[in-house]
Amino acid sequence: MGRFIFPIILIAIAAISYFTFIDPHYTQVKALRVQLDSYNKALSNERQLEAIRNDLTERRNAMSSSDIERLERLLPDNVNNVGLILDLNALGQPLGMQIQNVKFEVQNKATAAGQDQKQAAQDKKDYGVFNIEFSTIGTYPNFVSFLAQLDKSLRMIDVQSISFSSTDDRSVYRYDFKVKTYWLKN
């Protein structure tokens, strides 16, 4: 019987050691391995992002300054409503079509609190939309030329609607535009 007691005591000590020391430490080691894998994955992602950033930086540096300026004009990183109005006026001025009665939407923080779902979805996008309305007066051929210039403009402008009415001079019309343009959010 004595020779069975010593192995039973050793088995009991081994079981107690396992449940009090080995198992908690082993569980902790497993958790640390999972955390290490997570850190390694994050480090790998960071290296990939750094490589992409470096590639994009090299591409941008390879571009000429005029191309960069044209790209920034195509899709600016801010609304720049004054610049847009000046650009529209520069398109119409050679045709004798001055921009008038400019109206635009300004979204501020107070109106942002009461946004509907459509506006909330727009806020999640990487770009913003700027709506603007304006009027101009000119002949029909000049109006067609103005639209062609607007179409060729570097700035992305979507014409939403155009309405027109006659003036005292029957060959000259008043054109009311509703357009929207885009800008990149930071």
Average pLDDT over residues 14-38: 88
pLDDT at position 107: 55
Domain 74-184 has CATH 1.10.3470.10: no
Using one digit for the tens of pLDDT, what is the confidence trace for 69-83?
Answer: 877 777 777 777 788
Angle of the 140-152 helix axis to the 81-92 helix axis, nearest 10:
130
Going from N- to C-terminal start, the domains of the chain cover 1-62, 74-184
C-alpha 55/C-alpha 4 separation (Å) is: 72
Q: Residue 36: pLDDT band by 50, 70, 90 thresholds?
A: very high
